[in-house]
């Protein structure tokens, strides 16, 4: 992983610089020359690595606390459960990329494409380096990399000391993802474990207090989801995948507002065999439609936050 490799190279460079301070060219010309050459090699390697941008999924999970037995290893049962739960979280994030809603039941979409490989084990506080199975070189970030980035960001934000950051993250949860988060934080808390996550430029530690805080939060959340069929004049913002459904053609009397599911528009529905003709946006926007909205109510501490996702255009009216 880039960040771990950079840290290792920078530590080696610091050691070489310390040795160079102890060895002058006059007192030890051979040693000084060898250390100077090594310094140049390390600086070149650091510069080259700093300019790289990995496009495939890479993440390191470092565990500490009771399950880790010094430098010998980590409890296999704990490690297996923790890695399995993290993989499940990545699966569910991948299934929602591009604004797709996660189905309330049934197999998670794209599960086979979400698999990560354990490519290295790091000693100390025991860590596992997980990477994307595909070794193809890509010019842009892979969907799995985006899913891993979302998963680690969700872990960080749910445990954040800032209440606003947590509340914003909780709005991104669905019922099935919430269950996975509850499993993970319960496992860490009951095992008296800590978790450090290194993902790209992100590097954060979930210590015992952060784990306990996150567990209390996710266990206090209740999510209710359902699909409603409603009618109104539809307005879209394709760039941000937002919609307004209003009671008037001028778009003033707002009924519902929210996100647009990637599979909601006619082109995507046609791929699923839905008998709705392909229409340009101009034939959709500002017209009266019967649509299906996915409603999500997130309840916590007596407060309910409701959000809507447009999941289907049923028929024009």
Average model confidence (pLDDT) across the chain? 83
C-alpha to C-alpha distance for 100 and 113, rounded to whole angstroms:
16
The 10 Å Cβ neighbour count of residue 128 is: 20
Please name which of 274, 250, 273, 265 lies closest in space to residue 309, comparing C-alpha atoms.
Answer: 265
Of 72-81, 123-132, 308-317, give the lowest mean pLDDT range: 123-132
d(CA 148, CA 202): 12
The SS3 of residue 197 is strand
Retrieve residue 151's tokens: 């998963």
How does residue 33 score in pLDDT terms, banded at 50, 70 and 90?
confident
Cα-based angle 192, 62, 91 (whole degrees, multiple of 5):
95
Q: CA-to-CA distance for 35 and 3, rounded, in angstroms? A: 24
Listed as own residue / partner, the contacts of 252-256 with beta carbons closer than 8 Å and 24 or more positions apart are: 255/230, 256/230, 256/232, 256/293, 256/308
Which of 48-62, 90-104, 260-274 is predicted least confidently? 260-274
* Positive/negative CA dihedral, 79, 85, 86, 90: positive
CA distances from 124 to 4, 71, 206, 312 (A): 14, 6, 17, 51
Collapsed DSSP state (helix, strand, coil) of residue 108: coil
Residues 91-142: tens digit of each pLDDT: 999 887 755 556 555 555 556 678 899 988 886 678 899 998 876 666 677 8
The fold of the 224-316 domain, in CATH, is OB fold (Dihydrolipoamide Acetyltransferase, E2P) (2.40.50)
- Domain spans of the chain, in order of start: 2-50, 58-220, 224-316
């Amino acid at each position: 992983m880039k960040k771990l490799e950079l840290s290792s190279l920078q530590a080696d460079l610091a050691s070489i610089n310390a040795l160079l301070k102890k060895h002058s060219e006059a007192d030890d010309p051979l040693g000084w020359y060898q250390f100077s050459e090594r310094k140049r090699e390390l600086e070149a390697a650091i510069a080259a690595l700093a300019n790289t941008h990995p496009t495939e999924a890479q993440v390191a999970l470092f565990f500490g606390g009771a399950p880790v037995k010094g430098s010998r290893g980590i409890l296999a049962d704990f490690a297996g459960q923790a890695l399995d739960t993290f993989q499940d979280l990545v699966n569910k994030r991948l299934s929602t990329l591009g604004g797709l809603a996660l189905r309330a039941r049934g197999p998670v979409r794209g599960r086979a494409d979400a698999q990560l490989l354990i490519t290295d084990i790091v000693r100390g506080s025991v860590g596992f380096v997980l990477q994307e199975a595909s070794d193809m070189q890509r010019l842009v970030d892979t969907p799995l990399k985006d899913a891993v980035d979302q998963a680690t960001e969700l872990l960080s934000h749910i445990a954040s000391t800032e209440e606003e950051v947590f509340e914003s993250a909780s709005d991104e949860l669905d019922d099935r993802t919430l269950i996975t988060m509850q499993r993970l934080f319960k496992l860490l808390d009951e095992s008296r474990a800590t978790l450090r996550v290194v993902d790209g430029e992100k590097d954060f530690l979930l210590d015992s207090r952060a784990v306990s805080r996150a567990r209390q939060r996710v266990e206090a959340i209740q999510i209710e989801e359902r699909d409603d069929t409603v009618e109104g004049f539809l307005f879209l913002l394709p760039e941000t995948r937002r919609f307004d459904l209003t009671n008037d053609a001028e778009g003033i009397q707002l009924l519902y507002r929210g996100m647009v599911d990637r599979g909601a528009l006619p082109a995507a529905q046609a791929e699923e065999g839905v008998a709705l003709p392909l229409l340009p946006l101009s034939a959709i926007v500002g017209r009266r439609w019967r649509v299906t909205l996915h409603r999500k109510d997130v309840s916590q501490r007596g407060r309910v936050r409701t959000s809507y996702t447009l999941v289907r255009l049923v028929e024009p009216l």
